[in-house]
Structures are given as structure tokens and as C-alpha cells.
Amino acid sequence: MQAEVSIGGSHSTRARRFLRHFFAMLLVMMLGMCVLGAWMRYRGHSWERGGEMAAAMSVPVLPLLVLYGFDVIPARGVLGGQMMLMIPAMLAAMLYRKEEYSSPHTAHGHRGSWFAHVH
């Protein structure tokens, strides 16, 4: 009888590493969204427009995650598909608000320091 060897440590060690990696990536994503949200505010867009753009970037991945959950596509297909769908979704959001995205920044509220918009 051959003993099973776990690569990378015990189950609890692997679980801790997984959770540590998950929370590190979550932190990085949150910081990125804060920076990009502050950039949209700097450009004079409302919180609502920032939310629309975040939705345009996030919603396309949902059907891909369902397909991945049912083993229809591999994990790398989720990322590739998200990148292919995100750009048209962002463009659609911008076209939907074409007047706002094609006007000068001062036309939709950009005045003074971006700190005034963030707080």
C-alpha cells in the first residue's frame, strides 16, 4: 500500500495559502477600483457613471463563470472571454452616454481639485 503525499503541505496549510492569496488579490482589486473610481471623478463623472462603467466591466464575466462552473469552458477561457467582452461593453456604456463622454470635462462638473470630488 502506497501512502498518499500531498504536494505543498497539509490541507490546512494549503487552505491558509489559498485564503491568503484570495484576500491579497481582493485587496489589489479594491485598490485598483478606488484609483480608477477617483480617476473618473477627476474627469468629472458622477458616481453613477463610475458605477455604470464598473458594471460594464464586471457583468460580462457572469455568463462565463456559469459556463466555467458547468465545465463548459476552462479557467483561461473565462479571462480571455472577459477581456474580449469588456471592451465592447465599455464602449456600449460610453455610446449610451455619448453626450457626456464627448463633452469637455467642464461641461459635466469638472472644477478644481479631484479631492473635492472624492470626498
pLDDT, tens digit, for every residue of 66-79? 999 999 999 889 88
Q: Is 78 exposed, middle or buried (0-12, 13-18, 19+ CB in 10 A)?
A: middle
14 Cβ partners below 8 Å, 6+ apart?
Answer: 6, 8
Cell representation of residue 111: 472644477
Nearest of 59, 80, 82, 63 to residue 72 by alpha carbon? 63
Task: Express each pLDDT in 30-84 by its tens digit.
Answer: 788 777 778 888 888 888 988 888 888 888 889 999 999 999 999 889 888 988 9
Return the percentage of the chain with pLDDT > 90, whole number: 23
**Of 36 and 12, more confident:** 12
Q: Give the mean pLDDT of 89-94.
A: 93
User: Is the CB of residue 72 less than 8 Å from the CB of residue 39?
Assistant: no
